[in-house]
Structures are given as C-alpha cells and as structure tokens.
C-alpha cells in the first residue's frame, strides 16, 4: 500500500516538495492513510490544542472544542458552529468601484462594478484572506461547504466521532 | 446477473431492457457480480488495455488523414468503442467530452427505430452534429459505424472531430451570431451518410456546397471513418480470439467495473456533504451589427451549482436557480452538459483503471427544464455552448477540489478550467480563394492554480486534457494573417498564494487579402467568470479587442522604427496606440465588424485561471522570477502581493525579504482597518436589495431566477430577510 511520511506530506501541503516528487505522488495510487496523517500535519501547524476534525480551506479547520464543533482559523479565531456559514462571522471588504478593483488588477481591463463585485472574507483577528467571492451586487453570500462530518467519520473512516 | 450472449432481441428492446435492469439493480445492465473479472483479473485488464490501444492507435492514424490544423496540430478528435446499446467501453485521449455525447447519439438512433428505417447494416456510416440528438455544438461532427460479428450487432465504433468551419451565418464553428438553430451551420441529424464503408457522394456534395472550407470537414469525415473501420476490424479480430459470448459479457463488465471504481474513488478522495459555488457570464452585444433584437442585447447570467456527495460515493450536480435559455448562441443541451461532466471526471477522478461510461453512471446531473442547461425549445442555438459550460465546470472543479483539500489530497486540488474567447475568420484567403476557419490556438489558455503550485501557463483547456496551441507557422499557412507577436499576458492569472496560469495574446498583421472577416465569441467582459479559491482572486475578466485599421506598419518597418508586438501593460493606452499610426479600434465583447484588409492589425487575448490562497503568502522569490519572465508586473508584485523587489547588479529583479515582511504586515493591518463585520455589511446592503437598486441587467437576472426557481427565491428571501418576489417580479402571480 502506498504511504508517505508526515514530513513528506507536510512539505507537500506547504508547496515545498520538489516537483518530480510531487509529480510521482500525483501519478501514484493514492495513500489510504492520508487523511489522519494530514490532520496530524495541520495539528502540528496550529498553536491551539483543539483536535482538528476536518480541514475546510487553506487556513480553516473544523475542530472539536469542548462539547462543540466549530470552524476555527489557523490563528485560533473561532467562526462558530461548523454547521453555520463561517463567512457570516468574518470581516468583509467589498470591491465595487473601478478604483478598488484596479488595486488587484493593475494592468487589465476591468469588469463593470455595476454588474460584479469582489467580496473578500477576512479573519477579523489575524487578517488572513480566507475566501473571495466574485458575485453580482445583491447576490446572497454562498455557504461553500456543509460536510456530513458524522457520516464521514462513521461510514468512510470507520471511526465514529464521540457523541455522534 | 443477466446472461444474454449475442441477444436475439431487437436493439431497442435490448436498450430498454438494459435501462430497466440498471433501475432495478442499481448496477449497469443488471451486472451485480463481476464474474469474469473475478475469474481471471489479468485477462480482464489485458483485454481492456487492448481496447484502449485500439482507440489510441486509430485516433493517431486518423489525425494523419485530416487536413485540418485543428485535428492534425491541436488534436481536436476523440474515438471510442461502444456496446450495442451505445455505452462507451473504451476511449482514446483527445476531446473526451464527446465520448458520452456519441453515446447519446447511438441511443437516439436506437430509440428512434433506426433498425427499421433507415436500417442498421454492416458497413453503414452514421453521422450527427445535432446537439439535441447528441453533441455539444454544430462543429462537433460525429461518425459511428456498427460492428457486426457473423450477422449480429456486437458494438459500435465512433469518432468525433471538431470542425474548423461549419457553414453558419459567420465563418468558423463557434458561430457567435447564431441566435437560433437556423443560423448555426450545416446540420447532419443522425443521418446514414455512407454504406459499404464508403461515404456517399451526395453527402460529400452537400458538404462541398454548404461550407466555406469543405476540405476540413470532408477529409475529417474520411479520417473518422478510417478510424472507425480500424477499431471495428480490431474488435472483430479480438472477438474471433476470445469468442462472442465472452465479448458480450466482458464489454459490459468493463462498464460496471468503471461505475464501481468511480464510486470507490469518490469515497477515497472526497468528503461527503453539500458543496456550493457559482459563476457568472455577461454578454454585451448592444449596437453590434448583425444581432437580431430577439431578446435583450446585453444580459447577465448566474450559474449557481450545488454538488452533493452521498455516503455511497454518488456525485450529484444541481443547476437550480440558473437562467432561462435565450436567443443567443450559448445555450447547452443535456448532451453537452453530460459531456462537460464526463471530460471533467476523466481529468480529476476517472484517470486510471477502466476509463469508460461507467464513471458517468456514478453521477447525476439535475438540469432544470427551460434553463440554458436544458432548453424546452429545440430551435435554440448551441453554437457557443462552451461559453457557459466552461465556467460552470470550472465551478465543479472547485467544488471537487474543496473535497480533495478536506480529505488531505491537496495535490489534486485545482482551481479549474476557464472560459476563454476564440477567434474565427473567413473571406478571401492569402491565395485569393474563399476560406473559413476557427483559429484553435485558443486550446491553450491558462489554468486555475493548484493548492500547492501555480496554474499552468498557456497550456490548458477543459475540453481537451491534451491542450495545445499549435505552431504559428501552421496557422499562418491557413489564414491571411501573419503573427507580429504572441506573448504572455502579465497578471492574467488570478492573484493568490499560487497564481492562476497566465494566458497569451496574439497580434497579427492582415496580409494579402482585401476581405477578411474576423469574429470572436465566448466573451464575458463585464464580469469575472473564472473564479479563485480559498482566498485566491478570480482571473481578470475577458480583455477588449484592439485593432488598427489602415495602419502605417509597412512604413514604420521600412524606416526601421520600433513596432508594437502586444497591447502592453497600460490598460488606458495600448502599445499599438503608442507606436503605430492608423485608425485605432477598441471593442468590448464579441468582435463583429466590417471586413479587414491587408495592412490592418488585430489582437486577441485569451484568459488565465483563478488563484489559490491568500496573496500575502505568495513566495517572493518565485514572484521575482515571474516579474523577470513577464508573468507578473512589478506593479502587481508590489501592489497586489506586497512583495518589494529591487534590482541586482545586472538589473534583474530580486526580492527584498525584510522589506517584504514589513510591507505585508502593513497591508494586513490596512486590510483589517478597511474591513467591516459581515453582519454590518448585510444590514447595509439589505436596504439596496429592498429597493432593487441594481443595473437593469442585474435586476433582470434576479427576476428570471425567481421566476424559474422557488428554491432560489426562498434562499434569496431568507438570506436578505426580504420578499424577493415582490421586489423583482412585482405584479406577478404568487
């Protein structure tokens, strides 16, 4: 069975693994022990102790925090119950003028701000830009991901979560 | 398990029987056990490898018959082998989107009693390019031939080439002016075009008299028929070795195995749950010549997608809430939507093992009736379906990628395929003859970023995993234009920790013609349609066209003056305007205008992919390399990424790490200072939403979505705590 060390997976996640090695991992049969090893890599990366249950973005994790399961930023900031849209507890910067769009697109033709805006969802504590939505003005904020967390652990991983 | 070697049932009954068995057992053709695979797995795998080799070999041979640079150079072709009921058993590389559209074509003929009339006999050749029967758009012309063994139909061989000229109202294949079916080009609607392995002369005459460049289409027909015959004879030889009964069983087990493998891969690579995303497309045609006023000239489409992965590994994609079909060329049929799903799966999940229709059977598409994804009017045009298909399946790739990230397979996460415009032309060639052609260098846009590295530069499109822009010299043989520039477009990938792949821009001098019609399609200039992920920004919107009529380029060249080879990096004044005299033209959206002539200059820019991750985490050293090599500008490095560059002693950019750390800390502070809580923003925006204080095209988009979808209406109303119907469709019946 294919398997990689935690160090290799850590470098892979950090984009530091040499390309030939990365390419081999991409082409090879997948390693069935990946999930928990990768969770361990992320757990080492964060300063907090709550056990990570699921990575959901580059710096966002669902974790077990006491009796609750919450979405937490890598810096430790809590966005609340993982079943709710974390974006609603984020800070936002909206780019809906040519001037504001030009800051990100200095040399390109721009879209029409009357038709489209950029919404930046930011961690209010550390300032990490977690997600960018490009949407028509007035479009509801998207709830990107509602994982079937309990089903995943119970049926796919064979390790039911405590309390589920 | 149903045991029906060389069934005596008529094809239609066999097909209905097969569908019933799938419904009853949940397994393809009622195959609940992979008996042959279990008996001799090595023989099983070897046979499928042989079938795949037949396909790959037949396609390569056929490409040498074609006269089209699209097929010869860029590989716009795919071939496959099917069961008697029309399910793909094995396929070649190439434009794999059509493996499943051909399946629909075969099934359509069976369900429409082709066995009765026009009859299905050994040596027959059937062709189709009708998207409501089974293709994506008119230029995707498919040929299939039945495979008989001792009088029994035992399968089909099929091939598709994308034609560079389809005889529509504008030259090329992606006919931007098509607003109804009747202007898309030459339709071949599931016709028998040949018998006894020979294409009928009257069919060739029809092609020759209805196309601007029949040599492409006709020789592609010969190439496809040759590949089909090649595959057919190989399969017949194989059957003589393994026996007919074994073939009939194993060919179907291959598909059931493919279905099971797809479910298993989903369980291995993803996380069950509900994933959501959206993209948009903006169309601008007001005032452009040729467009009939059948609908609004300018419009905005929303494409929301909800993907569900269930615990058994099934993937369902739901397009509820999207827009109605329209009098434009961008509608898509269920066949096209299927094709988009199939080709995306082959790249992300179905890339090993027995690649075939089984993977598609492990998925489901929910295409709301009456929308652009499933029009309730078969007169609509689908000539440029890709304009909506590509951004839609880019969203699918991002949704899948989020599941890969969640499962820990970060190396598989990919921000996705992009919509990118293409250019087509016709008129008088450099040889003084009539001509028409789609320029397929578009088959090498920038890709979205990956979760571990930048996207591919000028090397990826969603419809063909073997993306290729072709050689300049070959394109120049085929059109009355010569390249005076082909270069990377700086900053054309979306910004992020990993940037999207960059696109390129071509600049041509029109040469040796007095009448060159240039048209472009698949433009979405008013909105971003190629999104980013996990903090990455979308790629820039589609760029405007810049042309110079009556240029003084020959005079400049004679004097040895500098020329312009690209638009440059000043969005307000292009290098053409700075360096070349003449009548300068800047056009947004589809390029539809009067013919060009020798001495004019034309430029066309393709699109890059979306970015991944926070821009402030981008590697400064890689960024310095990007600036040195023209992928990013210094301005972007500083302003967007917060990377301070200085020059080394030879004048090359190098990253100042300490200054960068300082600058980024300041930018992060500034970011936080500018941002407001989302709850405050929602409270503020609610007032605007309540007044529908939006551009007319935005209001129209909401009104259409609300009219078509009660779910969209509820979600919109719930989010803003308003009554969406009364705001956007006042006076409408409840």
Tell me: the pLDDT tens digits for B29-69?
999 999 999 999 999 999 999 999 999 999 999 999 999 99
For an interface test with A, give the residue of B505, B667, B678 to mutate (most A CBs within 10 A).
Answer: B678
CB contact under 8 A, B535 and A114: no
A43 touches chain B (CB under 8 A): no
Distance CA B344, CA B718 (A): 33
CB contact under 8 A, A114 and B698: yes
Looking at chain A from residue 83 to 142, which residues have their Cβ under 8 Å from any Cβ of chain B? 87-94, 103-112, 114-116, 118, 120-122, 124, 126-132, 134-142
- Rg (chain B; Cα; Å): 26
Domain range holding B547? 269-605
Q: What residues of chain A lie within 8 A of the CB of B277, using their CB?
A: 142, 144
Mark whether B658 and B525 lie in a shared domain: no
Q: Regarding beta strands A129-135 and A117-122, do their DSSP bridges make them parallel or antiparallel, or are they unpaired?
A: antiparallel
Mark whether B385 and B362 lie in a shared domain: yes
Average pLDDT of chain B, as a whole number: 95
Which of B276, B526, B671 is facing A143, going by the closest CB pair?
B276
pLDDT at B7 over 60: no
Q: Does some domain include residue A107?
A: no
CB contact under 8 A, B695 and A115: yes
Q: Does some domain include residue B733?
A: no
Q: Does some domain include residue B350?
A: yes
Mark whether B101 and B173 lie in a shared domain: yes
Q: Does some domain include residue B610?
A: no
Rounded to the nearest angstrom, the minimum Cα separation between A65 and chain B is: 19
Q: Does some domain include residue A20?
A: yes
pLDDT of residue B734: 56
Q: Residues B179-193: what's their mean pLDDT?
A: 97
Chain A and chain B share a number of CB contacts under 8 A equal to: 250
For an interface test with B, give the residue of A9, A101, A129 to mutate (most B CBs within 10 A).
Answer: A129
The 10 Å Cβ neighbour count of residue B335 is: 27
Q: Residues B526-534: what's their mean pLDDT?
A: 95
Mark whether B473 and B585 lie in a shared domain: yes
Q: What's chain B's length in residues?
A: 734
Q: Where are the alpha helices (DSSP H) in B375-520?
A: 386-407, 472-477
pLDDT band at B5 (very low <50, low <70, confident <90, very high): very low
Lowest mean pLDDT across A77-91, B205-219, B284-298, B552-566: B284-298
pLDDT of residue B350: 78
CB contact under 8 A, A134 and B669: no
Q: Does some domain include residue A66?
A: no
Distance CA B477, CA B8 (A): 53
Residue B445 CB contacts under 8 Å (≥ 6 apart), including other chains: B418, B420, B458, B460, B461, B467, B501, B503, B606, B607, B608, B609
The 3-state DSSP class for residue B156 equals strand
Mark whether B629 and B712 lie in a shared domain: no
The 3-state DSSP class for residue A74 equals coil
Mark whether B176 and B320 lie in a shared domain: no
Between helices B41-63 and B214-242, what is the axis angle to 10°? 160
pLDDT of residue A49: 96
In chain A, % helix, strand, coil (3-state, to 5) comes to 30, 25, 45
pLDDT at A21 over 50: yes
Q: Regarding beta strands B315-318 and B363-366, do their DSSP bridges make them parallel or antiparallel, or are they unpaired?
A: parallel
Q: What residues of chain A lie within 8 A of the CB of B276, using their CB?
A: 142-145
CB contact under 8 A, B679 and A17: no
Q: Does some domain include residue B2?
A: no
pLDDT band at B233 (very low <50, low <70, confident <90, very high): very high
Q: What residues of chain B lie within 8 A of the CB of A55, using their CB?
A: 405-406, 408
Q: What residues of chain A lie within 8 A of the CB of B675, using their CB?
A: 91-93, 120, 122, 124
Q: Does some domain include residue A13?
A: yes
User: What's the ipTM?
Assistant: 0.98
The dihedral formed by the CA atoms of B612, B615, B621 and B626, expressed in degrees to the nearest 10: 70
Query: Which percentage of chain A shows pLDDT scores above 90?
Result: 98
pLDDT digits (tens, 9 = 90+) for B329-376: 999 999 999 999 988 988 888 777 788 889 889 999 999 999 999 999
pLDDT at B135 over 90: yes
CB contact under 8 A, B282 and A9: no
Mark whether B454 and B323 lie in a shared domain: yes
Q: How many domains, chain B?
A: 4
Distance CA B368, CA B391 (A): 18
Q: Does some domain include residue B169?
A: yes
Q: Residues B427-439: what's their mean pLDDT?
A: 97
Which of B271, B497, B698 is facing A137, going by the closest CB pair?
B698
CB contact under 8 A, B540 and A109: yes
For an interface test with B, give the residue of A43, A85, A106 to mutate (most B CBs within 10 A).
Answer: A106
Mark whether B217 and B281 lie in a shared domain: no
pLDDT band at B2 (very low <50, low <70, confident <90, very high): very low
CB contact under 8 A, B453 and A15: yes
pLDDT of residue B733: 64
pLDDT of residue B353: 73
Mark whether B434 and B570 lie in a shared domain: yes
- Surface-to-core class of residue B639, CB atoms within 10 Å of its CB (0-12 exposed, 13-18 middle, 19+ buried): middle
pLDDT of residue B483: 98
Residue B490 CB contacts under 8 Å (≥ 6 apart), including other chains: A107, B502, B569, B630, B631, B632, B633, B636
CB contact under 8 A, B685 and A138: yes
The 10 Å Cβ neighbour count of residue A126 is: 14
3-state secondary structure B261-322: HHHHHHHHHCCCEEEEEEEEEEEECCCCCCCCCCCCCEEEEEEEEEEEECCCCCEEEECCCC
Query: Which percentage of chain B shows pLDDT scores above 70?
Result: 99
pLDDT digits (tens, 9 = 90+) for B609-629: 999 999 999 999 999 999 999
pLDDT of residue B522: 86
CB contact under 8 A, A88 and B678: yes
Q: Where are the alpha helices (DSSP H) in B64-130?
A: 69-72, 97-111
Q: Residues A62-85: what's their mean pLDDT?
A: 98
pLDDT band at A39 (very low <50, low <70, confident <90, very high): very high
pLDDT digits (tens, 9 = 90+) for B441-451: 999 999 999 99
pLDDT band at B4 (very low <50, low <70, confident <90, very high): very low
Q: Does some domain include residue A16?
A: yes
Residue B381 CB contacts under 8 Å (≥ 6 apart), including other chains: B175, B178, B179, B180, B181, B183, B184, B327, B328, B329, B331
For an interface test with A, give the residue of B278, B309, B391, B408 to mutate (most A CBs within 10 A).
Answer: B408
Mark whether B402 and B450 lie in a shared domain: yes
CB contact under 8 A, A26 and B411: yes
Q: How many domains, chain A?
A: 1
Q: Does some domain include residue B5?
A: no
pLDDT band at B8 (very low <50, low <70, confident <90, very high): low
Which of B279, B571, B720 is facing A109, going by the closest CB pair?
B571
Mark whether B640 and B586 lie in a shared domain: no
Residue B101 CB contacts under 8 Å (≥ 6 apart), including other chains: B134, B135, B136, B140, B142, B160, B335, B336, B338, B339
Q: Please, are residues A109 and B586 in contact by the beta-carbon 8 Å criterion?
A: no
Which of A134, A147, A152 is facing B528, going by the closest CB pair?
A134
For residue B587, how many C-alpha atoms fall within 13 Å in the half-sphere facing its CB? 27
pLDDT digits (tens, 9 = 90+) for B69-98: 999 999 999 999 999 999 999 999 999 899
Q: Does some domain include residue B734?
A: no
Distance CA B343, CA B98 (A): 8
CA neighbor of B165 nearest in space, from B94, B75, B67: B67
Listed residues B260, B288, B316: the one ending a domain: B260
Phi, psi of B282 (to 5 degrees): -115, 130
Domain range holding A28? 1-45
pLDDT at B488 over 90: yes
Distance CA B361, CA B27 (A): 9
Q: pTM value?
A: 0.96
């Amino acid at each position: 069975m294919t398997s990689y060390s935690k160090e290799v997976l850590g470098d892979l996640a950090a984009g530091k693994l040499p390309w030939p090695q990365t390419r081999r991992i991409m082409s090879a049969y997948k390693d069935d022990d990946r999930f928990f090893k990768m969770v361990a890599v992320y757990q080492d990366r964060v300063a907090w102790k709550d056990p990570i249950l699921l990575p959901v973005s580059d710096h966002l994790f669902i974790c077990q925090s006491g009796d609750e399961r919450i979405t937490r930023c890598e810096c430790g900031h809590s966005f609340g119950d993982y079943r709710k849209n974390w974006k609603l507890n984020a800070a936002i910067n909206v780019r809906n003028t040519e001037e504001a769009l030009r800051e990100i697109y200095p040399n390109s033709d721009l879209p029409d701000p009357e038709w489209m805006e950029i919404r930046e969802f930011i961690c209010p504590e550390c300032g990490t830009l977690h997600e960018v939505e490009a949407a028509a003005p007035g479009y509801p904020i998207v709830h990107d991901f509602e994982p079937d967390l309990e089903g995943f652990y119970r049926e796919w991983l064979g390790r039911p979560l405590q309390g589920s | 398990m149903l045991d029906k070697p060389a069934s005596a049932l008529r094809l239609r009954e066999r097909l209905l029987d097969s569908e019933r068995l799938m419904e009853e057992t949940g397994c393809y053709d009622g195959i609940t056990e992979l008996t042959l695979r279990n008996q001799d797995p090595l023989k099983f795998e070897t046979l499928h490898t042989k079938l795949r080799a037949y396909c790959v070999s037949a396609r390569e041979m056929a490409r040498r018959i074609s006269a089209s640079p699209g097929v010869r150079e860029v590989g716009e072709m795919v071939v496959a082998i099917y069961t008697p009921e029309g399910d793909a058993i094995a396929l070649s590389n190439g434009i794999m989107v059509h493996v499943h559209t051909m399946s629909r074509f075969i099934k359509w003929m069976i369900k429409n009693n082709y066995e009765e009339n026009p009859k299905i006999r050994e040596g027959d050749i059937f062709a189709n390019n009708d998207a409501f029967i089974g293709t994506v758009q008119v230029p995707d012309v498919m040929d299939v031939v039945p495979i008989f063994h001792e009088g029994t139909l035992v399968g089909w061989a099929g091939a598709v080439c994308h034609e560079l000229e389809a005889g529509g109202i504008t030259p090329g294949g992606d006919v931007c002016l098509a607003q109804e079916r009747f202007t898309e080009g030459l339709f071949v609607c599931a016709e028998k075009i040949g018998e006894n392995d020979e294409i009928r002369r009257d069919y060739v005459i029809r092609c020759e008299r209805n196309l601007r460049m029949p040599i492409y289409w006709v020789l592609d027909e010969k190439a496809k028929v040759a590949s089909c015959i090649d595959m057919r004879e190989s399969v017949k030889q194989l059957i003589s070795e393994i026996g007919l009964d074994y073939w009939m069983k194993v060919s179907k087990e291959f598909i059931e195995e493919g279905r099971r493998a797809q479910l298993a891969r989903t369980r291995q690579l993803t996380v069950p749950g509900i994933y959501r995303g959206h993209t948009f497309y903006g169309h601008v045609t007001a005032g452009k010549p040729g467009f009939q006023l059948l609908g609004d000239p300018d419009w905005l489409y929303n494409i929301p997608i909800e993907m569900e992965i269930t615990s058994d590994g099934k993937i369902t994609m739901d397009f509820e809430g999207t827009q109605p079909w329209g009098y434009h060329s961008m509608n898509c049929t269920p066949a096209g939507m299927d094709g988009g799903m199939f080709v995306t799966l082959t790249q992300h999940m179905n890339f090993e093992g027995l690649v075939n229709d089984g993977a598609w059977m492990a998925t489901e598409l929910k295409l709301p009736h009456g929308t652009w994804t499933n029009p309730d009017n078969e007169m609509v045009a689908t000539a440029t379906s890709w304009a909506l298909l590509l951004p839609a399946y880019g969203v699918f790739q991002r949704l899948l990628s989020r599941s890969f990230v969640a499962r820990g397979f970060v190396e598989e996460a990919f921000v996705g395929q992009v919509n990118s415009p293409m250019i087509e032309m016709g008129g008088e060639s450099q040889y003084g003859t009539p001509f028409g052609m789609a320029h397929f260098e578009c088959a090498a846009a920038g890709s979205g970023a990956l979760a571990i590295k930048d996207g591919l530069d000028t090397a990826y499109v969603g419809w063909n995993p073997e993306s290729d822009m072709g050689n300049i010299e070959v394109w120049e043989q085929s059109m009355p234009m010569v390249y005076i520039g082909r270069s990377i477009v700086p900053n054309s990938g979306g910004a992020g920790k990993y940037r999207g792949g960059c696109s390129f821009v071509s600049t041509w001098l029109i040469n040796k013609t007095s009448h060159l019609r240039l048209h472009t399609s698949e433009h979405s200039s008013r909105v971003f349609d190629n999104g980013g992920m996990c903090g990455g920004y979308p790629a820039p919107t589609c760029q405007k066209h810049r042309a110079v009529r009556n240029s003084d380029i020959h005079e400049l060249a004679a004097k040895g003056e500098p020329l312009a080879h690209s638009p440059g990096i000043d969005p307000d004044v292009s290098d053409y305007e700075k360096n070349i005299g003449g009548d300068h033209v800047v056009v947004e959206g589809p390029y539809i205008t009067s013919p060009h002539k020798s001495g004019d200059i034309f430029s066309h820019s393709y699109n890059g992919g979306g970015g991944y991750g926070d821009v402030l985490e981008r590697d400064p050293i890689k960024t310095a390399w990007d600036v040195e090599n023209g992928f990013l500008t210094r301005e972007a490095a500083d302003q967007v990424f917060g990377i301070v560059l200085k020059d080394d002693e030879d004048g090359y950019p190098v990253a100042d790490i300490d200054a960068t750390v300082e600058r980024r800390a300041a930018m992060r502070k500034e970011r936080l200072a500018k941002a407001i809580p989302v709850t405050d923003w929602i409270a503020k925006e609610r007032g605007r939403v309540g007044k529908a204080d939006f551009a007319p095209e935005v209001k129209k988009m909401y009104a259409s979505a609300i009219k078509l979808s009660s779910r969209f209406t509820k979600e919109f109303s719930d989010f803003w705590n308003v009554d969406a119907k009364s705001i956007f469709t006042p006076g409408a019946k409840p």
